[in-house]
Amino acid sequence: MCNVNQDQKDVKGFIPNSSNELSRIDKEKMRLLGGMQNRSEQGKHAKEMNVLMKLCGDVIKEEELKKQLEESNGNVFVVIERFIIKLMDQNIEVQSSFLDTNTDRSEHKTTQVICDNNFSFFFFSLHKTISTYNILFAKKKKKLPENERSLQKEASIEIEQTSEKLKKEDERAEIGETRPGINLQGYCTHTDCLASKANLPVWVNIGFGDISFVSDKTSYCCPDCRQSTVKSVVKTMISNSEHSICANDTLVSVKDNHYQCFYPIKPGLLYELKAKTIRQHATSLEDLISRSESAMMSNELINLVSELQKYLITVVKPPKVKDSVRLLEKIRCDYNGNYNQVFDVGRFTILCDNATKLQTAVAVMKKAEKFNLIVSEDKDFFERQSKTHHRFHNIKLYVPKHDVYVEMQATLKNYTTLEGYTVIENPKLSHSFYEHIRAWKPKNAKEEELKQASDETLTKINDIICEWIDDKGIKKIASHYKSHLDIGILKPSQLSQKTESEINNNVPLKIAKFLYEQLCEFTPEKEKGKAIYVIFYEYYKKHIIGYSDPASCADFALLLQESWKQEIEEDVNLLQALETYIPLQANDRAHVDGDDNEKNDSYDCYQHAIEFLERVDERKSEQEQRKVIIIQGKSGSGKSIFCRHLEEILWNNYVSDSKQPIPVYISFSKIYHKRNEKDIILQALQGKHISKEIMNTIREQVSFIFIMDGFDEIFDVYRKSNNEQYFYDRFNLNQWNAKVIITCRSNVLNEDDIHTTLFGTNQNNVITTSMMYLWPFTKQQMHSYIEKFAKMKVKNKKRDGNSDWTPQQYEETLNNYPNLQKWWRSHFYFNSF
């Protein structure tokens, strides 16, 4: 049914050259499609009436014609089309020699011959009227009219001459591709050109613009041999443009804005072609908005939409046209202030379940002439990537009644981020990101780089949303996903101490803030959402934070863990000590010589420390869960090795990607300087390759266990300066979310010193402090230590090719020398190597 309407399109392309009436129609058409002037003048339609009466007066009553003409604002072609549609709807289908010429095979098959007297009479009279004039132009889509075909027949040597004519057409090879704007088909004459040798027509793209040529005296560049040897042009196809074409034998120009118009080119004539990209014809933004609104509510579009809905296709009509503030900003940034470049003021989004439905939707839209609409631009970004990698089929429809273009954007339901229709998690994310970078004009090379990276990131996101990356690829990306709840995203250091307005006036800072917040809030559950998160996090890591700094608490922990591993590996003695570590005993009271602990009240030092650290006092807030353990012990009682052991266990038990507190071992003798006591933690962290810039962020977001070893070693210097004695304040530990373990040799600090310095008698009890004393080894512990030690020695010696003592030999030796044993019991760690 619709096919016949398409043929009518061809009918209106026939332009007679010697009839006053019909050239006036032509002018009318020019006005309609080009300039759109005010057509309300009375009596204006008299000429059109005259033509209509001549064409169809035998079939249709004059009053009816007049009524239709007024309704269509004097557009003769709309009236003719409307009558044909009406007649077709009465279930009349036509096969006439006239139509047959322009009908392709598939249409041919489905055309039934049911002739109504009136209708066929009307048709023949129309045909006859037109045929009596010399035909200057024939315009059609995809198919060639008979007269042109016969011209090419002689030229084409590749084509089978015997098969039926419709088949021949399909098999005619064409070289080069057509693009938006003007395309010319001609013949190359270069002797070394394969296309020329085979006498195949080639397509030359001109694009948009004005050109003129004499059809058999051209010198266009051949797409095959790249020489300027396309000497003659036989056909033109003008696509996605408002265009005009004129030949010098008549000086009557044809104007049109159908997305695909073919015109045969006659030999020896001078042609003038003009093609512009589609533009709105509004006189102001308000005018554009009001035209768009009228068009959106017009019967033409309503009919098209209901046709689509018949196929169970979702058509989303925006409740209201875009708000003018955003529209104005967009016009200013994207279109240099030219509102006539805006097509989405009136836009329908068409959502389909699958690719086949989408094909149907596009096919239906392309038949929009049936609804008195003109398909003016057809851009397929569904199989071909758009600049933004969004995947859709975009069709611009011209609504003649309101002289405005509206946009139909068709895509799959899976690909849309339209609120209320999308299956994408956090659908606004990609668009908000786009809004951040859209109008950004980078100020320097660094910003340029960030802009580039941002654009690339957006592309990657759209590739995931629109499945330019396949399922497998998306899954692979998603497999790297880690929830922010686990890894703890770190705030970009550049945002610290910046005011809201400072951030808002600086695009890179704005982006940094936006991404940080998004990454802290978005918790995707589906593959696509996870993949999107991973892409954003990668971008954040590389371009917002910088690869050398950690982007999350987990990253930070990893950095420190690496630094710790390296430190241990480089210290052979320490490594050995850790390998032979035997659980240490501790007690609430200090050990006195001769006390073999008959009370049996000592406990495992490590267990005690861990329990103390982990115990949560529910009456206190997190800020108040500050804890200090003071460990005292005699020289050589194992304080340092205990600290190192604790650090090792904490790291070994550290679950990667968690927010567990991070252990940091700090040796007072190495780190402490009187002058920068307050920055002792910063010093320690910088020593572990953590940059100063991110300290603020780290301080805010990471929790620690500071293991501070050997306070006695600095005490002489420490006591001399400053009135404040409490170590917690002097080391500025309040700034950190940390629990602290501090070790000190017994008998270096007196009771008062211990109270003022380590307990902080003046503090108002916010910090829970616990004290424990390391006790020397029992016989049993010593035994197991010797065993471990000997085993390790044997292992090492075997490796080195030497033999060494057995554990028995060690023990016998010790037993034979009681004094040695006593000394050893209190000095066992540091003196055993």
Q: Which of 69, 225 has the CB closer to Zn ion?
A: 225
Q: Closer CB to Zn ion, residue 216 or residue 293?
A: 216
Minimum CB separation from Zn ion for residue 225, in Å?
3
> For residues 224 and 407, which CB has a smaller minimum distance to Zn ion in the complex?
224
Annotate 410-463 with three-state secondary structure. Answer: EEEHHHCCCCCCCCCCCCHHHHHHHHHHHCCCCCCHHHHHHHHHHHHHHHHHHH
Report the nearest approach of Zn ion to the CB of residue 223 (Å). 8
Listed as own residue / partner, the contacts of 216-224 with beta carbons closer than 8 Å and 24 or more positions apart are: 216/267, 216/268, 218/184, 218/186, 220/184, 220/186, 222/188, 222/190, 222/193, 222/195, 222/196, 223/175, 223/176, 223/177, 224/175, 224/176, 224/188, 224/193, 224/194, 224/195, 224/196
Nearest distance, CB of residue 176 and Zn ion, angstroms = 10
| Contact status: 78 vs Zn ion (CB under 5 A) | no
Beta-strand relationship, 230-239 and 181-188: antiparallel
φ/ψ of 637, rounded to 5, equals: -80, -5
State the nearest-atom distance from the C-beta of 229 to Zn ion, in Å: 6
Between 193 and 519, CB nearer to Zn ion: 193
Give the interface segment with Zn ion, choosing from 195-203, 570-578, 600-608, 771-779 (CB under 5 A): 195-203
Q: How far is the CB of 449 from Zn ion (least distance, A)?
A: 43
HEC readout, 511-552: HHHHHHHHHHHCCCCCHHHHHHHHHHHHHHHHHHHCCCCCCE
Identity of the residue, 190 or 347, whose beta carbon is nearer to Zn ion in the bound complex: 190
Q: Which CB atom, from 229 or from 409, has the smaller least distance to Zn ion? A: 229
Span near Zn ion by CB under 5 A; candidates 165-173, 188-196, 424-432, 816-824:
188-196
CA-to-CA dists, residue 761 to 132, 284, 764, angstroms? 116, 78, 8
The contact mask relative to Zn ion for 90-129 (x = CB under 5 A, - = no) is ----------------------------------------
Starting at the earlier edge strand, list the strands of the sheet with 241-247.
Answer: 209-214, 270-277, 241-247, 253-256
Kindly state the smallest distance separating residue 53's Cβ from Zn ion, in Å.
52
Separation between Cα atoms, residue 704 and residue 409, nearest integer Å: 54
Question: In the range 218-257, which residues lie near Zn ion by CB under 5 A?
Answer: 222, 224-225
Q: How many CA atoms, within 13 angstroms, populate the side-chain half-sphere of residue 242?
A: 20
Q: In whole angstroms, what is the distance from residue 233 CA to residue 230 CA? A: 8
Ranges within 316-345 binding Zn ion (CB under 5 A): none
**Cβ 80 vs Cβ 368: under 8 Å:** no
Q: What's the CA gap between 402 and 716, in Å, rounded?
A: 92
Specify the DSSP element, H or E, that contains 508. Answer: helix 507-521
CB-nearer residue toward Zn ion: 193 or 489: 193
Least distance between Zn ion and beta carbon 215 (Å)? 18
Of 33, 76, 79, 193, the one binding Zn ion (CB under 5 A) is 193
Beta carbon of residue 218, minimum distance to Zn ion (angstroms, whole number):
13
Give phi and psi for 479, each to the nearest 5.
-65, -15
Q: How far apart are CA 404 and CA 291, in angstroms?
A: 6
Distance CA 718, CA 712 (A): 9
- Say how far residue 196 (Cα) sits from the centre of its chain: 46
Stretch of 58-66, 181-189, 501-509, 540-548 lying at the interface with Zn ion (CB under 5 A): 181-189
If one asks whether residue 200 binds Zn ion (CB under 5 A), the answer comes out as no
- With respect to Zn ion, which residue has the nearer C-beta, 203 or 398? 203
Supply the minimum distance, in Å, between the C-beta of residue 362 and Zn ion: 34
Sheet containing 737-745, strands listed edge to edge, beginning at the edge strand earlier in sequence: 603-604, 585-587, 768-775, 627-633, 737-745, 703-709, 662-667
- Enumerate the H helices of 311-427 as residue ranges: 324-334, 355-366
Distance in Å, CB of 195 to Zn ion, minimum: 5
* Closer residue to Zn ion, CB minimum distance, 195 or 254: 195
CB of 286 to Zn ion, least distance (A): 52
**Which range of residues in 180-188, 237-245, 464-472, 680-688 is near Zn ion by CB under 5 A?**
180-188
Q: Interacting stretch for Zn ion, rule CB under 5 A, among 182-190, 268-276, 604-612, 812-820? A: 182-190
Q: Which amino acid is at 40?
A: S
Cβ-based nearer residue to Zn ion, 49 or 225 = 225
Pick 103 or 196: Cβ nearer Zn ion: 196
Shortest Cβ 181–Zn ion spacing (Å): 21
- Indicate which single residue of 140, 190, 391, 543 sits in contact with Zn ion (rule: CB under 5 A): 190
Give the residue carrying structure tokens 């920068």.
676
Nearer to Zn ion, 188 or 790 (CB): 188
Exposed / middle / buried, residue 226 (Cβ in 10 Å: 0-12, 13-18, 19+): exposed
CA–CA separation, 62 and 55 (whole Å): 12
Residue 190 CB, shortest distance to Zn ion, in Å, is 5
Question: Which range in 196-204, 303-311, 619-627, 691-699 contacts Zn ion by CB under 5 A?
Answer: 196-204
187 or 382, CB closer to Zn ion? 187
Q: Which is nearer to Zn ion, 158 or 521 (CB)?
A: 158
Locate 772 and state its tokens.
């424990």
Between 225 and 399, whose beta carbon lies closer to Zn ion? 225
3-state SS, residue 569: helix
The window from 192-200, 379-387, 696-704, 716-724 that contacts Zn ion (CB under 5 A) reads 192-200
Query: Can residue 188 be called a binding residue for Zn ion (CB under 5 A)?
Result: yes
Measure the CA–CA gap between 371 and 79, rounded to whole angstroms. Answer: 12
Residues in binding contact with Zn ion, number by CB under 5 A? 7
Question: Cβ 227 to Zn ion, closest distance in Å?
Answer: 6
Given CA atoms 568, 569, 571, 577 in this order, what sign does their dihedral have? positive
Q: How far is the CB of 174 from Zn ion (least distance, A)?
A: 14
Q: Is the Cβ–Cβ distance between 584 and 606 less than 8 Å?
A: yes
Contact between residue 386 and residue 408 where contact means Cβ atoms under 8 Å apart: no
Nearer to Zn ion, 197 or 692 (CB): 197
Residue closer to Zn ion by CB (options 12, 190) is: 190
Task: Enumerate the β-bridge partners of residue 253.
Answer: 246
Q: Which two tokens stand for residue 735?
A: 């700034």
DSSP labels for 229-272?
-EEEEEEEEEESEEEEEEETTT-PEEEE--SEEEEE--TT-EEE
CB nearer to Zn ion: pick between 152 and 587: 152
CA atoms within 13 A on the CB side of 430: 30
CA distances from 593 to 17, 77, 775, 823 (A): 126, 116, 10, 12
Residue 372 and residue 400 in contact, taking contact as beta carbons nearer than 8 Å: yes
Provide the minimum distance between the beta carbon of 80 and Zn ion in the complex, in angstroms, as a whole number: 43
CB of 204 to Zn ion, least distance (A): 10
Shortest Cβ distance from residue 189 to Zn ion (Å)? 8
470 contacts: CB under 8 Å, gap ≥ 6: none
User: Which positions lie near Zn ion, rule CB under 5 A?
Assistant: 188, 190, 193, 196, 222, 224-225
